[in-house]
Chain A
């Protein structure tokens, strides 16, 4: 990918210009390098994307995988078989040809021997004519080995005198063959030999010495050249046939593989889609069962699973509805008499001045306890509504500052009774959050009420803050505080920090549990920090947009003063 860069020319030019050009060139080179780098990065990105897509396709498609693997295996097998087959055929073909050729050569040698027996005694002209004649004769004797050319060579001393049925044949003979025949042995060799139109043709060459009665130095050799073009044609025909049938076979096998995979994969894909829809809540989703094979079994067990799932879910829904109905019925059945009792108690309570002292006191106790009972009942019903999953969030944009002030105003009387001050700090900027105002108010009332109850008369700080995604309210008291063990249980139902301690505010023991559920319903957090004798701080964090995920809170859970002084404020 890198582009060629030019070396700066530093020689053979005057120094200043050379320096100038050098910097110029360096600049150009840097530019080119940068561009090369960019191009390389882009190419890498494209390559990564492509390879990523290919990898994804490979991983996600069983059919593709099986197709590719079948192709690979079938291809390798077909190639091996083809190579073996082709080699066998060509070996056999050549062996037959060679056998016939050697037979013919031997026959030629004995014929030539009879013709050239007395050649040594003759002069040059008679030698030539004898050789020519013999060659012609040899050419006329057809054998089983097909077309051929022949060369008869007479050697006396160093100069060979060849007589050939084709021109330049002798000069085309390979030196090794000639040497071997010179040495007196019969030999054969395959070589490329030019034919009559000077095109090189694979040829089987056979050479043999023709025994003559020479006194040494003289020698007659006979060479045969069998062109293999016919065999080559046959072999190329065989080769193309083998190749075509190999490719066809491979494609056929791959096709079958893909087809079979498809037969299996399609129902599996259908089952996967069905399972997806089932998981998406469409409980009536079923697969069609056809036949009795493994896939039909898969489909029917899938359907059985869906049946049982649906049944269980419907059952659970029924139970949940039953629970909700029960809650609502209990609510109604209990509340109606309680209303009557409460009203009667109040009427009695108001008239208590007319009663004898013990009756008057009884009326007071009745009134107070009926009220407490009512509080407990409504908290119980609220928590059971949460348990039944019947609580619904009624979120709408609400300004939290005024809401917090309203809560504080509502609690002012209680605070006054406990002799403690409520300090409410809200930011100058509006804080608007999508919340269920009724529930948030309930949580805040609960937290402030708790702080007043446990605040030992010291000031209580209520702080509101917000960032871009969340709003938080902290309620800090400086009362008796709590141990970390207590902090873990403070949201438990009916949990009390100190069982021996007398309750002053009352409360059902469910207040913080309900507050925690209220916060959770908003997707928010309700957390507590506390240390013995350091007071406690509750923090409510709510997302500004209903249903958004919380990542952090705008206010710390641990009060800043305590952190700075290492726990001694």
Chain B
């Protein structure tokens, strides 16, 4: 509308480690087969100061991801060529970049499958631009932590500015979202967090949203940090209320 930059030929056009232009707040890869929607997303993202990149073919999604090295991925779950879930899992296997699913189905099974495949958040079509931008902003805000801070839950220690989680000197790889979730719990070890509170603090939702986000990510986090995910010691469930950190 206002300022439309020339469209880069993304396939190899941008070197993987190309520095962002000064005005860009981050590069967003849009994986969607619907040209109109992709273009509309591009308009909205550019208006907010993000730099969009596009891929419409599921089969080329991972390759494009490797070339563009985006700061965030918007991924449509229903794609021709390749299943969105598979792409999600593939990207997650090589990167901890935030992934937001665009899903047409609000059905539990689809959402949960997407989250389990590694997505950090999702928006259900039809969504409003504000909603989408709020999700994107919230995911990109991660990792903006400052002063030195060390936290301990059970036998797991967390170095907050270095984004490092270790057990007995051994590093545990977490995605930024899982890291933020763990840090939120660890910072207030006595507090019981309701799912709504976690949604607000970790995902940045202002009003009630889907608590399945929290459930699935707690499961994922437990699978990584607990010795026995069936008997959690780090992230404890408080029946009927929510979650809390285990004793240090």
Contact = CB atoms under 8 A, between A and B. Distances in A.
Interface in A298-356: 328, 331-332, 335-344, 346-347, 351
Interface stretch (A97-105, A138-146, A391-399): A391-399
Nearest 10 A/B pairs, CB to CB: A432-B240, A332-B104, A335-B125, A397-B240, A339-B126, A335-B104, A338-B126, A339-B125, A340-B37, A340-B36
B78 A332 contact: yes
Interface of B: 1, 34, 36-37, 40-41, 43-44, 47, 78, 104-109, 125-130, 194-196, 207-208, 210-212, 215, 239-241
A343 B125 contact: no
B126 A347 contact: no
Interface of A: 328, 331-332, 335-344, 346-347, 351, 374, 377-378, 382, 385, 390, 392, 394, 396-399, 402, 406, 410, 430, 432, 437-438, 441
Nearest to A332: B104
Nearest to A445: B208
Contacts of B196: 402, 406
A385 to B, nearest CB: 7
B129 to A, nearest CB: 5
A406 B36 contact: no
Contact of B108 (A392, A402, A410): A392
A328 B212 contact: no
Contact of B37 (A336, A351, A378, A432): A336
16 contacts: A328-B104, A331-B104, A332-B78, A340-B40, A342-B127, A343-B44, A346-B129, A346-B130, A347-B44, A392-B107, A396-B215, A397-B240, A399-B240, A406-B208, A430-B240, A437-B211
B81 to A, nearest CB: 16
Contacts of A341: 126
B208 A342 contact: no
A378 B126 CA distance: 9
Contacts of A347: 1, 43-44, 47, 129
A441 B127 CA distance: 20
B30 to A, nearest CB: 13
Given A339-B127, A432-B239, A402 B194 contact: yes
B105 A394 contact: no
A295 B215 CA distance: 57
B38 to A, nearest CB: 9
B109 A392 contact: yes
A394 B34 contact: no
Contacts of A398: 240
A394 B125 contact: no
Contacts of A438: 210-212
Contacts of B43: 343, 347
B128 A343 contact: yes
A310 to B, nearest CB: 26
Nearest to B125: A335
B129 A335 contact: no
Majority DSSP secondary structure for residues of A touching B:
helix
A242 B191 CA distance: 95
Contact of B126 (A342, A430, A437): A342
A336 B34 contact: yes
A399 B239 CA distance: 9
A343 B47 CA distance: 12
A405 B124 CA distance: 25
Nearest to B76: A336
A346 B207 CA distance: 21
Given A337-B36, A346-B128, A347-B1, A397 B239 contact: yes
A127 to B, nearest CB: 124
Contact of B104 (A336, A385, A410): A336
Given A390-B107, A406-B208, A410-B208, A336 B125 contact: yes
A404 B240 CA distance: 14
Contacts of A340: 34, 36-37, 40
A332 B44 CA distance: 21
Contacts of A406: 196, 208
Which of A332, A377, A378 has the most chain B CB within a 10 Å cutoff? A332
Contacts of A339: 37, 40, 125-127
Contacts of B78: 332
B243 to A, nearest CB: 12
A371 B183 CA distance: 38
A167 B126 CA distance: 130
Given A337-B37, A399-B240, A402-B196, 15 more contacts: A328-B105, A332-B105, A336-B34, A336-B37, A336-B104, A339-B127, A340-B40, A343-B40, A343-B41, A343-B43, A347-B43, A347-B129, A397-B240, A438-B210, A441-B208
Contacts of B37: 336-337, 339-340
Nearest to A374: B126
B208 to A, nearest CB: 6
Contacts of A344: 40
A394 B207 contact: no
B107 A328 contact: yes
B28 to A, nearest CB: 15
Contacts of A399: 240-241
Nearest to B127: A339
B34 A342 contact: no
A339 B129 CA distance: 9
B176 to A, nearest CB: 26
A394 B194 contact: no
Contacts of B1: 347, 351
Contacts of B212: 394, 438
Given A335-B125, A340-B36, A394-B212, A385 B107 contact: yes
A327 B149 CA distance: 50
A89 B237 CA distance: 95
A430 B192 CA distance: 15
B110 to A, nearest CB: 9
A285 to B, nearest CB: 30
A346 B109 CA distance: 30
A338 B40 CA distance: 12
Nearest to A381: B106
Nearest to B242: A399
A333 B40 CA distance: 17
Nearest to A371: B128
Nearest to B47: A347
A410 B207 CA distance: 8
A395 to B, nearest CB: 12
B115 to A, nearest CB: 13
A340 B35 CA distance: 10
B240 A335 contact: no
Contacts of A394: 108, 212
Contacts of A402: 194, 196
